Chain A
Amino acid sequence: MNRIKKAKLFIIGGLLSIGILLTAADHLDAPAVGGTTADITDFYAFEGANSDNTVLVANVQGLLAPGSTAEFDENILIEINIDNDGDLIEDLIIQAIPRNGIMYFFGPYAPTTTGLNSVINEDAQYLGQVKISKGTNAITSSFNGISYFAGLREDPFFFDSSQFNAIIGGMAPSGFNNPGNDDFDGTNVLSIVVEVPNALLGETFSHPAGTGVQVFNAWVEAKRKQ
């Protein structure tokens, strides 16, 4: 029995029983949230064109076909969390929530409580807002050195997710193709982008992987109003 046949048998016997279905970065990652207005698709963090700034990108509601009129949900709070001491608990948050076609931003600020439930501090030190962009033109704004964008954009994620699904389904014993196919090509996403001066993002600590680089932890959460 050659390795391919062997692998195929193992795939059928093993992976099918594992029963997973890989999708994407975080697109449709769980049945409770997949396809809803609270479905986070991706999170990016990178140095801005101004190297004193960090850009934070939170994308939601992915795989939107061209022409989709999907909108941000006024009941969904998008919250970027920053941990400045490595204990995996947020020390600073940046919150974004839409009202009447405008995205409102709160923070970065230190929340009074951490965890699964959030409230919005309307008196946070840093506040901003930007009209939500629905077309080609990107409407942006800036307050206190922080830049804001919210609206429809091309989904920058790229992945041959269908071939991955074929692999784990036992239908592709030779693995990925070369070249593969980008299943996210031609799709849009709802994007929130903030560019924040590093001076407002707090302290750093030594990288948990032991590389010695000074970092903070960051993640994004989608939270629904009760």
Chain B
Amino acid sequence: MKLNNLKYIAATFLVVIGLTSCDNDDVGVTVITPILDFSGTFVQEDQMGRPGINTVFSATPEIENDFNVTIPSEQGAAFQSLFETQLAGLHSAFGATYENNILNLDITTLTTLLASDVLQVAPDEPTTYFDGANVLTGRTLTDDVIDVSLILLFGGQTGDRFNGQDTNNDGTPDLPILVTDGVSAAGETPLSMFPYLEVPHGI
């Protein structure tokens, strides 16, 4: 379908018949053709592939702004080392250092993978951020991307490194809970067919 068709369709809906004013004896009919102007240059202000990358890894407002106007092919070189410093800093704030995660990725490899902020999508395999069997093959509306991200960042090799453990058995947790935010997709009930997203609240 070419744009001419689109313009025609729009015109059939938007044809306006304008009558001249009352004090004019002449009755005129004017057809106003809608102008659909798609011209011009559009300049990038925001960019996103995976959830939470910029918000988690960019340590300052300046880095956040820069990240959004950097194309993916240049993000790795520009931001990987900053992201590694940030992830190390988040650990040191808890008196810890990063441990290789459940995918056995070291901190440099993980931040290299995540610094290029694109979402891998598998057209012929199950699509999920992580479902226990498939990893980073897409993102469904109910994937718990926060917990997956927290596990990859803070979970260590077991995935539950910081999960509120009582390490000295005194009945009180000694480690913080950092591998789950305690919110699941239970409250989300997307549709099974297009457009999949739920009706808005309060309409």
Once bound together, how far apart are the Cα atoms of A172 and B91, in whole Å? Answer: 15
From residue 171 to 189 of chain B, which have CB atoms closer than 8 A to chain A?
Answer: 172-178, 180-185, 187-188
The closest CB in chain A to the CB of B94 belongs to A7
A-B residue pair count with CB separations less than 8 angstroms: 377
Query: Do the beta carbons of A66 and B201 come within 8 Å of each other?
Result: yes
Q: Let me know if B89 is at the binding interface, CB within 8 A.
A: yes
Give the size range of B's interface with the partner.
35 or more
Query: Do the beta carbons of A47 and B138 come within 8 Å of each other?
Result: yes
Nearest CB of A to B92, in Å: 6
The closest CB in chain A to the CB of B38 belongs to A120
Nearest CB of A to B110, in Å: 10
Query: Do the beta carbons of B123 and A138 come within 8 Å of each other?
Result: no
Nearest CB of A to B83, in Å: 12
Query: Do the beta carbons of B121 and A140 come within 8 Å of each other?
Result: no
The closest CB in chain A to the CB of B116 belongs to A88
Nearest CB of B to A14, in Å: 3
The closest CB in chain B to the CB of A131 belongs to B13
Nearest CB of A to B160, in Å: 12
Nearest CB of A to B179, in Å: 9
Query: Do the beta carbons of B138 and A46 come within 8 Å of each other?
Result: yes
Find B6's partner among A14, A127, A135 (CB 8 Å cutoff).
A127
Query: Do the beta carbons of A49 and B42 come within 8 Å of each other?
Result: no
What residues on B are CB-neighbors of A43 within 8 Å? Answer: 48-49, 51, 119, 139
The closest CB in chain B to the CB of A26 belongs to B48
Q: Let me know if A112 is at the binding interface, CB within 8 A.
A: no
Once bound together, how far apart are the Cα atoms of A63 and B21, in whole Å? Answer: 46
Once bound together, how far apart are the Cα atoms of A171 and B166, in whole Å? Answer: 20
Query: Do the beta carbons of A30 and B61 come within 8 Å of each other?
Result: yes
Interface of B is mostly: loop
Interface size for A (C-beta < 8 A) is: 127
Query: Do the beta carbons of A88 and B73 come within 8 Å of each other?
Result: yes
Find A163's partner among B52, B93, B95, B181 (CB 8 Å cutoff).
B181
From residue 43 to 86 of chain B, which have CB atoms closer than 8 A to chain A?
Answer: 43-49, 51-56, 58-61, 64-65, 67-69, 71-73, 75, 86
Query: Do the beta carbons of A219 and B117 come within 8 Å of each other?
Result: yes
Once bound together, how far apart are the Cα atoms of A153 and B34, in whole Å? Answer: 29
Find A7's partner among B45, B176, B201 (CB 8 Å cutoff).
B176
Query: Do the beta carbons of B135 and A102 come within 8 Å of each other?
Result: no
Q: Let me know if B24 is at the binding interface, CB within 8 A.
A: no
Q: For A7, A19, A65, which residue has the most chain B Cβ atoms within 10 angstroms?
A: A7
Nearest CB of B to A84, in Å: 11
Supposing A66-B203, A158-B185 touch, asked if A45 and B121 sit within 8 A by C-beta, the answer is yes
Query: Do the beta carbons of A15 and B90 come within 8 Å of each other?
Result: yes
Find B68's partner among A32, A117, A208 (CB 8 Å cutoff).
A32
Nearest CB of A to B23, in Å: 31
What residues on B are CB-neighbors of A123 within 8 Å? Answer: 2-3
Supposing A31-B65, A167-B176 touch, asked if A22 and B56 sit within 8 A by C-beta, the answer is yes
Q: Let me know if A220 is at the binding interface, CB within 8 A.
A: yes
Query: Do the beta carbons of A220 and B73 come within 8 Å of each other?
Result: no
What residues on A are CB-neighbors of B46 within 8 Å? Answer: 26, 29-30, 33, 38-40, 221-222
What residues on A are CB-neighbors of B178 within 8 Å? Answer: 167, 175-176
Nearest CB of B to A11, in Å: 5
The closest CB in chain A to the CB of B162 belongs to A175
Supposing A89-B73, A154-B201 touch, asked if A176 and B55 sit within 8 A by C-beta, the answer is no
Once bound together, how far apart are the Cα atoms of A206 and B32, in whole Å? Answer: 53
Once bound together, how far apart are the Cα atoms of A47 and B123, in whole Å? Answer: 7
Nearest CB of A to B193, in Å: 5
B115-159 CB mask vs A (1 if < 8 Å, else 0) is 011111111111110000011111111101110000000000000
- 5 smallest CB-CB distances across A and B, nearest first, come from A66-B202, A180-B182, A175-B176, A14-B93, A30-B64
Given contacts A40-B47, A99-B38, A158-B185, list 13 more A-B pairs with CB under 8 A.
A29-B48, A33-B65, A36-B45, A38-B46, A116-B71, A136-B199, A153-B198, A173-B176, A174-B176, A175-B176, A216-B121, A218-B119, A226-B40
